[in-house]
Amino acid sequence: MPLDHIVSILPELNKAFFETLYMVGISLTVSIIVGLPLGILLFVTDRGLFLEQILVKNVVGFIVNLVRSVPFIILLVALIPFTNWLVGTTIGPTAASVALSVAAIPFFARVVETSIREIDKGVIEAAIAVGATPWMIIREVLLPEARPGIIQGATLTLISLIAYSAMAGIVGGGGVGDLAIRYGYYRYDNTIMFTTIIVLVLLVQVIQLAGDIFSKIVDKR
């Protein structure tokens, strides 16, 4: 591989790298902010739980499944008016982040739900028996107990987001994956193709490693 060619694309790669970080950063943040409460909601409103609301549970569950069934590109298009209203533009990394976030929210919500489901029901009952409010139980029992699983889930979401962010190119979002597609794929530039893929693979491995370590640190079991 011609080294000087690699050097010549470094500025672009660098830009793409930060675009990727920007997009997945925003999307992860949003999906945590929205998906976490949704995941908790899916759990606590379930049958036999302390905020049992089967209707809420079913409606939220349906919406989550719905968003997960729609192909990403369609989601991207369907969201254009919303994206425009929300961030004032339908192109660029910020706009791409909206669609990425919407796709990641239900995914992360399910991950959170699954993690919380693994908490021993006895611990929740003990909290109820102590006279704790639902809010206290959520904040001081469910979240701390599920923390290692939620961190693992956030890692999983982040890695999926990186894969999905390659599609940000559709709305001019840029990013490393898009760089790989536009230059590596469409313009037959194997140097860029391999360089970007190596960057992606490294990024994914680093994230996985960091997620594992972080999740282990907060795991007090």
Residue 200 binding partner per list a second copy, another protein, none, with a CB distance cut-off of 5 to 8 Å that depends on partner kind: a second copy
- Which residues lie closer than 8 Å to 179 by C-beta, 6 or more apart? 12, 13, 16, 192, 196
59 is a site residue for a second copy (CB under 8 A):
no
Tokens of 100: 């990425």
Distance, CA of 28 to CA of 124 (rounded, Å)? 28
Question: Contact positions toward another protein, by CB under 8 A?
Answer: 12, 14-15, 17-19, 21-23, 77, 80, 84, 87-95, 120, 122-123, 125-133, 136, 140-141, 144-145, 147, 169-172, 174, 178, 181-183, 185-189, 218, 220-221
Among 207, 158, 197, smallest CA distance to 26 is for: 158
Region from 10-18, 27-35, 69-77, 129-137 binding a second copy, contact rule CB under 8 A: 69-77
79 is a site residue for a second copy (CB under 8 A):
no
Distance, CA of 155 to CA of 28 (rounded, Å)? 9
Q: Considering the complex, state which of residue 46 and residue 127 has its C-beta at the smaller distance from a second copy.
A: 46
Shortest Å, Cβ 129 to a second copy:
26
Do residues 158 and 171 make contact, with C-beta atoms less than 8 angstroms apart? no
72 is a site residue for a second copy (CB under 8 A):
yes
Give the other-Cβ count within 10 Å of 114's Cβ. 16
Shortest Å, Cβ 46 to a second copy:
13
